[in-house]
């Protein structure tokens, strides 16, 4: 049976079809991507950068801890002073006297 | 029902993997045939097809008209073939226009002598392919695009990135050279 020139041309190279099928399958884009794959692809190509960033943060935290020194003890919280103690405290400081002394300062 | 290229492209843009598979399968053998006949190197032709597929999937957004997917795909393949020629042969541009400016004003060949519809027996076809392989690369490229995918002269001009007149000239010279080769072989 006579075929067109196109048919002859294609038949001439039909033996390459298995190789072409493999190339085609390798070129197909992925259909869907799961969240896990998305996160993996987010971090996997840049592992070195993420590693350096983590090391830098650890170094900064360690440096901060070393420089800050030991923690100061909290201020003691004693009972509330009585009104009599407060009055005695104020009696030690004569406000009028203090004001007049300030006025004498040149 | 056979889906057209625009239908498959629309599905492919919505991440349907079967769409891409069907689309590439439809064009893989004509693409490979074009590259193999043009480069005369089966291994290089497979590389061209592989690179063309990868470029098509990656740069689909650059396709302006879905109806012209085939010519767009062959345009990518043609550029890959040109790059291969430049890597392998560093002596001049094998796709340079022909020296003589005898471009015909119209397409003179009647339908009866059109190689696209020429019915051949296998022996005659093999003889024809042997002669086609002797043509210069630029003429061979235009002839193959014309025969394989029935591209119009405008589409061939777009694929090969040359003016329409150059395409006409190359086809004209290709057919004349084939005629001379046939007469010389008798």
**pTM for this one?**
0.66
Distance (Å, whole) CA B149 – CA B141: 12
Q: What is the CATH number of the domain that holds B142?
A: 1.10.10.10
* A30 part of a folded domain: yes
**Residue A78 to residue A75: CA distance in whole angstroms:** 9
Closest-CA distance of chain B to residue A36, Å:
19
Q: Chain B residues with CB inside 8 Å of A26's CB?
A: 50
Q: Which residues in chain B belong to E strands, given as ranges?
A: 119-120
- Alpha-carbon distance values, A48 to A32, A40, A59, A61, A68 (Å): 27, 14, 16, 20, 30
Kindly state whether residue A96 falls inside one of the protein's structural domains.
no
A91 within a domain of the structure (yes/no): no
A30–B33 C-beta distance less than 8 A:
no
Complex ipTM more than 0.90, yes or no = no
Let me know whether B82 and B142 are in one domain. no
Please give the pLDDT value at position B109.
45
Q: Do the Cβ atoms of B54 and A27 come within 8 Å?
A: yes
Residue B70: the pLDDT is 94
Domain boundary among the residues B73, B88, B103 is at B88
Q: Using an 8 Å CB-CB cutoff, list residues of chain A that contact chain B.
A: 2-6, 8-10, 12-14, 16-17, 19-21, 23-32
pLDDT value at position B111?
39
Question: What is the model's pLDDT at position B77?
Answer: 96
Mean pLDDT for chain A?
81
Report the distance separating Cα B82 and Cα B85, nearest Å: 5
At a CB cut-off of 8 Å and minimum separation 6, what does B16 contact?
A: A31
Q: pLDDT category, A72, cuts 50, 70, 90?
A: low
User: What's residue B106's pLDDT?
Assistant: 45
Domain span including residue A47: 5-68
What pLDDT tens digit does each residue of chain B (186 aa) get? 678 999 999 888 887 768 899 999 999 999 999 999 999 999 999 999 999 999 999 898 899 999 999 999 999 999 999 999 888 765 445 565 554 444 444 444 433 455 555 556 667 777 788 888 888 899 999 999 998 888 999 999 999 999 999 999 999 988 888 888 777 766
Count of structural domains, chain A: 1
Q: Which two tokens stand for residue A18?
A: 């298995």
**CATH number reported for the structural domain that contains residue B69 in this entry:** 1.10.1740.10
B16 within a domain of the structure (yes/no): yes
Structural domain that includes position B37 = 5-88
Cβ separation A4–B25 shorter than 8 A: no
Q: Is position B98 within any domain? A: no
Asked if residue A61 is part of any domain, the answer here is yes
Return the pLDDT at B104. Answer: 46
Rounded Cα distance, B142 and B78, in Å: 11
Dump pLDDT digits (tens) for A79-103: 777 888 878 777 776 666 767 777 7
């Amino acid at each position: 049976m006579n075929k067109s020139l196109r048919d002859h041309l294609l038949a001439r190279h039909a033996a390459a079809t298995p190789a072409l099928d493999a190339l085609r399958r390798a070129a197909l884009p992925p259909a869907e991507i799961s969240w896990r794959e998305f996160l993996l692809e987010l971090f996997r190509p840049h592992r070195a950068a993420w590693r350096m960033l983590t090391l830098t943060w650890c170094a900064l935290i360690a440096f901060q801890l070393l420089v800050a020194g030991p923690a100061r003890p909290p201020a003691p919280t004693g009972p509330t002073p009585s009104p009599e103690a407060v009055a005695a405290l104020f009696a030690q400081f004569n406000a009028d006297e203090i004001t007049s002394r300030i006025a004498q300062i040149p | 029902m056979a889906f057209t290229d625009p239908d498959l492209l629309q599905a492919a843009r919505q991440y349907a993997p079967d769409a891409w598979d069907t689309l590439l399968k439809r064009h893989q053998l004509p693409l490979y045939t074009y590259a193999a006949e043009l480069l005369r190197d089966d291994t290089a032709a497979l590389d061209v097809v592989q690179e063309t597929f990868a470029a098509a999937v990656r740069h689909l957004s650059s396709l302006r008209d879905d109806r012209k997917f085939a010519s767009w795909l062959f345009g990518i393949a043609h550029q890959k073939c040109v790059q291969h020629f430049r890597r392998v042969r560093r002596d001049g541009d094998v796709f340079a226009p022909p020296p003589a400016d005898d471009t015909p004003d119209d397409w003179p060949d009647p339908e009866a002598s059109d190689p696209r519809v020429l019915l051949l027996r296998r022996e005659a076809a093999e003889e024809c392919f042997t002669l086609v392989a002797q043509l210069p690369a630029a003429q061979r490229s235009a002839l193959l695009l014309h025969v394989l995918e029935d591209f119009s002269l405008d589409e061939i001009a777009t694929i090969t990135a040359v003016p329409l007149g150059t395409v006409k000239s190359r086809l004209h010279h290709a057919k004349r050279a084939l005629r001379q080769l046939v007469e010389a072989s008798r």
